[in-house]
Amino acid sequence: MKALTWHGSGDIRCETVDDPVIQDDRDAIIKVTSCAICGSDLHLYGGFVPGMHAGDVMGHETMGEVVEVGRGNSKLKIGDRVVVPFTISCGECRQCKWGQFSLCERSNPAGAEQAKQIGYPTAGLFGYSEMYGRFPGGQAQYLRVPYADVGPIVVPDGLSDEQVLFLSDIFPTGYMAAENCDIKQGQTVAVFGCGPVGLFAIKSAFLLGAERVIAIDTVPERLALARASGAETLDYADDDLQERILAITNGLGPDAVIEAVGMESHGAGGVLETLQTKLTSTERPYALSQAILACRPGGTVSLPGVFVGPAVPAPLGAVVGKGLTLKTGQTHVQRYLEPLLNLIVEGKIDPSFLITHRIGLEEGPEAYKTFRDKADGCVKVVIRPNG
């Protein structure tokens, strides 16, 4: 089959790889009908995530048609259209039973090595380095789905791929980021970073009762989509950004802040590349520091953004001094699939609003560059690997 594979920083290739096969009775194989390039894929593309190997298949936002099912999987049948969560979760360990699927204790075959770095294992992820299990990703014609009796959700008739594809990651990620803010009716939420996750965080904040959302970015296309979603917008390049935030909130500040930037390896025009062009021994914490600064005393800072490595400096003095609550974590996608699918079915949100580019698999390497450089108005790329 054809797949997009990693071969080093800035080197994504479309090449032939082995077809996936059933390895466990709970597995399923899907023919990928749609997949997408995620902002966190750019961290891999930029070479900022250790543990990638030449030839690793990329991608973790995937859906398709079931073409083979393991003998122990009674949930799925051949022909089902399914969306696949980027988190691989067993459904049986204590974390899964608590609904904390991204913290699954069993699904990551590299869990013992991961625990040496962070103390405990967490869930395996599709297409995301040795640390998360080195599972082949879904930017391919076919995908093996482990624990397929737990993860995938069957798509009802009448919904297009583009309406449901983002249930695999960015819609639940933005929603969980907003949910972590514990939003009360009438509150104000600020969102740093108006990429796909930030845009879904904006939509979700309004769905959860926010009266105002302040969106902070500098890319015109992203800011336009944020305004179309109902947000007020600010440019992070303003030297007096904090003063601007205070001015439009009558000096009170936002009740919660979502930092949807993370490590930000998005190339020219990204928040952090404006200030620092190369990684130092610590990661680039500009947006995190700004989010902590912007949040009102007693508020919440929600971090859906990706950080990798042990050394991420943050102004903890401000966190403690202002009595802030920090909420973080990989998304517990399986927890959100059914309720968010219902929102789509009910017409309360159409997740396809941010798609700007639709391509075939062969165009993937160039699309990575376009997405990284924020060129050609690119906000979100959807790939159809099988035409």
pLDDT digits (tens, 9 = 90+) for 141-158: 999 999 999 999 999 999
Full-model pTM: 0.94
**Do 8 and 110 share a structural domain?**
yes
In a domain? residue 215? yes
Token pair of 232 as six digits? 């007020």
In a domain? residue 273? no
Contact 151, 87 (CB under 8 A): yes
**Do 88 and 199 share a structural domain?**
no
Residue 151 CA to residue 238 CA, distance in Å, equals 43
Contact 142, 32 (CB under 8 A): yes
Q: Which of 213, 214, 209, 212 is nearest to 184 (CA)?
A: 209
**Do 138 and 102 share a structural domain?**
yes
Q: Which of 286, 313, 328 is the last residue of a domain?
A: 328
Q: Which of 132, 92, 85, 84 is nearest to 108 (CA)?
A: 132
Q: What is the mean pLDDT of residues 33-37?
A: 98
Number of domains composing the chain? 2
Q: Which of 295, 313, 328 is the last residue of a domain?
A: 328
pLDDT digits (tens, 9 = 90+) for 52-97: 999 999 999 999 999 999 999 999 999 999 999 999 999 999 999 9
Residue 199 CA to residue 25 CA, distance in Å, equals 38
CATH number at 77 reads 3.90.180.10
% of the chain residues with pLDDT over 70: 93
CATH number at 259 reads 3.40.50.720
In a domain? residue 99? yes
Dihedral pair phi/psi, residue 228, rounded to 5°:
-65, -25
Which of the residue ranges 8-22, 41-55, 298-312, 314-328 has the most confident prediction, judged by mean pLDDT? Answer: 8-22
pLDDT the model gives residue 296: 98
In a domain? residue 272? no
Residues of the domain holding 67: 2-169+331-384
**Do 313 and 347 share a structural domain?**
no
Q: Which residue has the tokens 């909130």?
A: 249
In a domain? residue 88? yes
**Do 112 and 84 share a structural domain?**
yes
**Do 126 and 263 share a structural domain?**
no
**Do 282 and 259 share a structural domain?**
yes
**Do 73 and 12 share a structural domain?**
yes
In a domain? residue 303? yes
Mean pLDDT of the chain: 92
pLDDT the model gives residue 186: 95
**Do 190 and 315 share a structural domain?**
yes
**Do 256 and 176 share a structural domain?**
yes
Q: What is the mean pLDDT of residues 223-231?
A: 97
Whether the pLDDT of residue 321 is over 50: the answer is yes
pLDDT digits (tens, 9 = 90+) for 237-279: 888 999 999 999 999 999 999 999 875 533 344 444 444 434 3
In a domain? residue 66? yes
pLDDT the model gives residue 239: 82
**Do 184 and 322 share a structural domain?**
yes
End-to-end CA distance of the chain: 13
Q: Which of 293, 309, 328 is the last residue of a domain?
A: 328
**Do 124 and 80 share a structural domain?**
yes
In a domain? residue 59? yes
pLDDT the model gives residue 89: 98
